[in-house]
Amino acid sequence: MLAPLCFWGENFMIKKEKFALSTTQIIALSFLVTILVGSILLALPISSANGEAVPYIDALFMATTSTCVTGLVTLPTVSTWSLFGQIVILLLIQIGGLGVITIMSGIMLLFHRKMGLGHRLLIQDAFNLNTMSGLVKFVKKVLFGTLIIEGIGALLYMIVFIPKFGAKGIWISIFNSVSAFCNAGIDIIAENSLCDFATNPLVNIVTSILIVLGGIGYIVWWDVIRVVNSRSSRNKKIFRHLTLHSKIAITFTLGLIFVGAFLILIFEYNNPTTIGNLSFFDKIQVALFQSVTTRTAGFATIPQENLTDASTIVSLVLMFIGGSPVGTAGGVKTVTIAVLVCSAFATIRNKNDVTMFGRRISEDLVRKSVAVMVAFVMIGVTSSVLLMATNDVSAIDALYEAISATATVGLSRNITAMLNLWGKLVIIVTMYLGRIGPITLAVMFGSKPQGQNLISEPVEDVSIG
């Protein structure tokens, strides 16, 4: 049902006299079609646990949150959907996490179909890559690596879930592994997410590793493997030989996780409604999990509405930043924030060049980072205001919900199910915009014919600060 979008991609790009869609527009459209098809399937009575069709707005919401790997839900996943409905949701999560183009590319490779130039351009844009070299090999590694990691995750989950749920634990383990790796945060365990397993070390560790591996980005995987297997890494100084992208992604990911966990541990230490009554070890692992899951994963082991205001702000910042590029996570992304922070410090120190790890960052990359940041802020703020205007929610709850949707996180202060029709529509649009990315939107709606920017406007100084 989605194949025509990918197979048409080549025609869209090569026969421009017939079609005017760009690759980024095709990618955005492919997500939209997936959501609509998924919503129709979820609106069928067979998808409901009680055999009665759910309201279409809730089916549309569920299809959107699954495809956009967000995790916000208006109806409890575990009790609302039948096995058929859960399978549809899982497929939407997998498609949304990897991307429609990647899934269809894998199907083409499976049937030994050759990829044309148009399809390669689609893959390049879908992963935001700078080169078309080795795209087929890249897609194969992404698909194979994803299956391996999700399979291992499922097997590890079974150690806990089979003894607790019996044979059903196999399906729960598979579902949870795919959802965690894709940073979706949707589960079929209980209505309170993973709160019943808040102090289970195995569930915490497996879920956290899956989230991080999915969110750190595929190109970091291959770069680390390349360096480990290379002769130059025999002196064990692996980090030195990584690319700049990998250094930034790894450094900022680890830094945000541990700094976030430390702050949450301090702010929640004596809060009896979260971790105040737990042992010191359990406090540490719950704080660490909260720091990890806010990086666009969406699983919850503590009620988000019970967080202190300080922890809420920390969680908002972590959600807004999100994961790393070319992965399953959302948010502004670690590399974007790193570029902006270094650019700000370079300006403060009156330096012309923005540098990190001994490498100079191009001005074009700085401008793109600014564009992504501005777009995300605009989407998040607009969504927050609209939620407050259409629903009786506080500013902090609306902001938490909006940032969670914009960054495709899925954590909520327990207000998603209480949203009215307009509130649900606001979050649906926000999740979609947050998933396809502000840069994609900018290219979709702001593309200009070649040569239009050859004439520059006059320069005039303005006051800043």
b/e 15-35 (16+ beta carbons within 10 angstroms → b): eeeeeebbbbbbbbbbbbbbb
Cα angle 188-190-191, degrees, rounded to a multiple of 5 = 105
Cα angle 317-414-62, degrees, rounded to a multiple of 5 = 90
Task: Break the chain down into helix, strand, coil percent, rounded to 5.
Answer: 65, 0, 30
User: What digits encode the pLDDT tens for the residues 29-72?
Assistant: 888 999 999 999 999 999 999 999 999 999 999 999 999 999 99
User: What pLDDT score does 329 carry?
Assistant: 84
**Per-residue pLDDT of the chain in tens (465 residues, 90 and over written 9):** 444 444 344 444 444 444 456 667 777 888 899 999 999 999 999 999 999 999 999 999 999 999 999 999 999 999 999 999 999 999 999 988 887 667 766 666 665 566 665 666 666 655 655 556 667 777 788 888 899 999 999 999 999 999 999 999 999 999 999 999 999 999 999 988 999 999 999 999 999 999 999 989 888 888 888 888 876 555 567 888 888 989 999 999 999 999 999 999 999 999 999 999 999 999 999 999 999 999 888 899 999 999 999 999 999 999 999 988 877 888 899 999 999 999 999 988 888 888 898 889 888 888 888 988 998 999 999 999 999 999 999 999 999 999 999 999 999 999 999 999 999 999 999 999 988 876 565 555 555 544 455 566 787 767 666
Of residues 69, 94, 194, the one with CA closest to residue 151: 94
Handedness of CA 339, 345, 348, 349 (dihedral sign): negative
| CA 182 – CA 433 distance, rounded (Å) | 18
Give the DSSP H or E segment for 7. Answer: helix 3-14
Tell me how crowded residue 390 is: count the other CB atoms within 10 A of its CB.
17
| CA 291 – CA 435 distance, rounded (Å) | 21
Which stretches of 269-333 are DSSP H helices? 280-293, 309-321
Of residues 262, 67, 264, 270, the one with CA closest to residue 183: 67
User: What pLDDT score does 30 carry?
Assistant: 83
Measured in Å, how far apart are the chain's first and last C-alpha atoms?
A: 53
User: What digits encode the pLDDT tens for the residues 128-144?
Assistant: 555 566 677 777 888 88
User: What pLDDT score does 393 carry?
Assistant: 94
Which stretches of 269-411 are DSSP H helices? 280-293, 309-321, 334-348, 363-390, 395-406
User: What pLDDT score does 295 carry?
Assistant: 83
User: What pLDDT score does 250 carry?
Assistant: 94
List of long-range contacts for 419-426, beta carbons under 8 Å, 24+ apart:
419/74, 419/387, 419/391, 420/390, 420/391, 421/57, 422/386, 422/390, 422/391, 423/387, 423/390, 423/391, 424/57, 424/58, 424/61, 424/74, 425/57, 426/383, 426/386, 426/387, 426/390
Cα angle 370-222-408, degrees, rounded to a multiple of 5 = 45
Tell me how crowded residue 463 is: count the other CB atoms within 10 A of its CB.
4
User: What pLDDT score does 276 carry?
Assistant: 94
Residue 413 in tokens: 């202060």
| CA 235 – CA 248 distance, rounded (Å) | 22
Q: Please state the domain extents for the chain.
A: 1-138
Q: Using the 8-state DSSP alphabet, how is residue 246 labeled?
A: H
Of residues 195, 400, 372, 229, the one with CA closest to residue 314: 400
User: What pLDDT score does 15 carry?
Assistant: 44
Instruction: Measure Cα distances from 253 to 60, 187, 217, 220, 323 in Å.
Output: 33, 24, 11, 12, 7
Environment class of 248 (CB within 10 Å of its CB; exposed 0-12, middle 13-18, buried 19+): buried
